[in-house]
Chains A and B, each alone.
Chain A
Amino acid sequence: MKAVVPILTVLAVIVALWYAAAVWMNAPWERDQAARAGTAITFAQLLPLTMVQERPVLPAPHQVAVGLWEGLAGQAITSKRSLVYHGWVTLSATLLGFAIGTTAGVLLAVGIVHNRAMDLSVMPWAIASQTIPILAIAPMIIVVLNSVGVSGLLPKAIISAYLSFFPVVVGMVKGLRSPDAMQLDLLRTYNASRAATFWKLRLPASMPYLFTSLKVGIAAALVGAIVGELPTGAVAGLGARLLQGSYYGQTVQIWAALFTAAFAAAALVALIGAVQRVTLRRMGMAR
């Protein structure tokens, strides 16, 4: 409960700064209008006008809040204007991509730890893959997959997977290698097979590392899904909302979609955090 006060304080400061910025950024347009009409406008007259513009440069917080509320609760969730609908489109691609990325990441990590050739060859490629800007590679993935008849959810999920496998590989390799020499020697004195070493020592030891990577990975997966919706002029998904908003100068729509994405990311990370706590407590690793 003690944490609430500082959090609310920070939030209040951010909102206040945001209002100030909205006034400052939307004011030129009002002055412009007044100048065109040949009337003078005082700051007191201008102030309320900057809060209610149709297409503000920076929408005021309450405008975003209204946009968000209408998008989330003001529509049937099957409506093309519902943020729940678009959110779900993006979320389903995120979850599928996250599942693919996590599976691939864990399998690669297991390979890297157990096979010297993979150890030497996979990691540089994994790192190289992440240095290519996703914005450059996303359209290619979409176009290539489209040309072989794969469209819809899967191409977006693959872009999600592309972004989310990397933290999982890195974290899992570190986790699977975390047992020290003494713990490995102990198993050698039992004549333990590599499989036994993996299941009894390496895998459980890697759990804290895995969860940390999953949190990074799921956020990356969400970014991937949104980016995957941008290049193709997709009609559904938070990425599509962002794109349409920017075409038509609907800044409120952009911000509402951004906040939906941020809330979704926070919820997903919190969900993994909860699974982490339960799992580690069950394992006796959290005190």
Chain B
Amino acid sequence: MAGPVIEARGLGLTFQTGDGPVHALKDVNLTIGRGDFVSFIGPSGCGKTTFLRAIAALEQPTEGTLTVNGMTPEQARKSRAYGYVFQAAGLYPWRTIAGNVRLPLEIMGFSKVEQEARVNNVLQLVDLEGFGKKFPWQLSGGMQQRASIARALAFDADILLMDEPFGALDEIVRDRLNEELLKLWARTGKTIGFVTHSIPEAVYLSTRIVVMSPRPGRITDVIDSPLPKERPLDIRDSAEFIAIAHRVREGLRAGHSYEV
């Protein structure tokens, strides 16, 4: 499939609330290509979640156009274009880890044999083989979040949308999961949209960093990362890394001075 995976043109999204309209997104233009790892960073309320939800057809844009694999977001959803990972793992307590990963497969009507094979495959991908029979409460927070990533990968969508998936985890676990996510991305070649509040996380993971600012929510900078695809954790001490992080920080600061 040629062409962009996600394309937003003049995208706007206004929530009508009790105390007037909230411009969650305004005039957003962005093109995401196949295999990109795009991070969205910006202060709270700048519309990162809203943008991701619009891509996933969980919100309706009020202006502009948004296409996913050349289709409307709804059509893309029907063709199982994306998996969505929320901030909380949100595993069903009454299902085992394998049962949770199987959930989308059951709903989408995969055969029993196929379900089994896919569950095993993705559990291996997130390093959870052997934990399939455990219940969520028997796993640590980091493992639960990995299981929720496995669940999003199970039906082999080629887009992965992740909204602060590691936001609730501690620094050390987060570092490990970041490394693993990069490996997983390299192995699967998926297109990833990733929301974060952490500058180092955004720089470490992404091929492109989208800096956003609030009121109205808009894109203020898009940075193409010159970092190589192969990224050991200590790349974060390199001059290149620090330079990008600096530019992101400047972008965030500039966005902030807008208001006042």
Give the B-binding residues of A (Cβ under 8 A).
182-183, 185-192, 196, 200-201, 204-205, 207, 283-285, 287
Residues of the A chain whose Cβ atoms lie less than 8 Å from the Cβ of B57: 188
Residue in contact with A284 in the complex, picked from B56, B90, B135, CB distance below 8 Å? B135
CB of A131 to closest CB in B, whole Å: 34
CB of B176 to closest CB in A, whole Å: 24
Complex: chain A residue closest to B109, CB-CB: A196
Q: How far is the CA of A200 from the CA of B108 in the complex (A)?
A: 12
Complex: chain A residue closest to B95, CB-CB: A284
Q: What sequence of 0s and 1s flags, for each residue 23-58 of chain B, a beta carbon within 8 Å of any chain A beta carbon? A: 000000000000000000000000000000100111
Residues of the B chain whose Cβ atoms lie less than 8 Å from the Cβ of A204: 92, 94
| B90-113 at interface with A (beta carbon < 8 Å) | 90, 92-96, 103-104, 106-108
List of 8 A-B pairs having minimum Cβ-Cβ separation, nearest first: A283-B94, A284-B135, A189-B84, A190-B104, A190-B107, A192-B107, A204-B94, A196-B107
CB of B68 to closest CB in A, whole Å: 12
B187 at the interface (CB under 8 A from A): no
Known contacts A191-B78, A283-B94, A285-B94; A182 and B88 CB within 8 A of each other: yes
CB of B152 to closest CB in A, whole Å: 8
Known contacts A183-B90, A200-B106; A189 and B82 CB within 8 A of each other: yes
Residue pair A200, B94 in contact (C-beta under 8 Å): no
Residues of the B chain whose Cβ atoms lie less than 8 Å from the Cβ of A188: 57-58
Beyond A188-B58, A284-B95, 8 extra complex contacts between A and B, CB < 8 Å: A182-B86, A186-B90, A190-B107, A191-B77, A191-B107, A191-B108, A205-B92, A283-B94
Known contacts A196-B107, A287-B137; A189 and B92 CB within 8 A of each other: no
Q: How far is the CA of A205 from the CA of B84 in the complex (A)?
A: 21
Give the A-binding residues of B (Cβ under 8 A).
53, 56-58, 77-78, 80, 82-84, 86, 88, 90, 92-96, 103-104, 106-108, 135, 137, 155
Complex: chain B residue closest to A180, CB-CB: B90
Residue pair A186, B77 in contact (C-beta under 8 Å): no
Residues of the A chain whose Cβ atoms lie less than 8 Å from the Cβ of B94: 204-205, 207, 283-285
Residue pair B88, A189 in contact (C-beta under 8 Å): no
Residues of the B chain whose Cβ atoms lie less than 8 Å from the Cβ of A287: 137
Residue pair B58, A284 in contact (C-beta under 8 Å): no
Residue pair B108, A190 in contact (C-beta under 8 Å): yes
Residue pair B103, A185 in contact (C-beta under 8 Å): no
Residues of the B chain whose Cβ atoms lie less than 8 Å from the Cβ of A189: 56, 58, 77, 82-84
Residues of the B chain whose Cβ atoms lie less than 8 Å from the Cβ of A185: 53, 58, 84, 86
Residues of the A chain whose Cβ atoms lie less than 8 Å from the Cβ of B107: 187, 190-192, 196, 200
CB of B143 to closest CB in A, whole Å: 16
Sample of 20 A–B contacts (CB below 8 Å): A182-B88, A182-B90, A183-B92, A186-B86, A186-B90, A189-B56, A189-B58, A189-B77, A189-B82, A189-B83, A190-B103, A191-B78, A191-B108, A196-B107, A200-B103, A200-B107, A207-B94, A284-B94, A284-B96, A284-B135
CB of B173 to closest CB in A, whole Å: 21
Complex: chain B residue closest to A197, CB-CB: B107
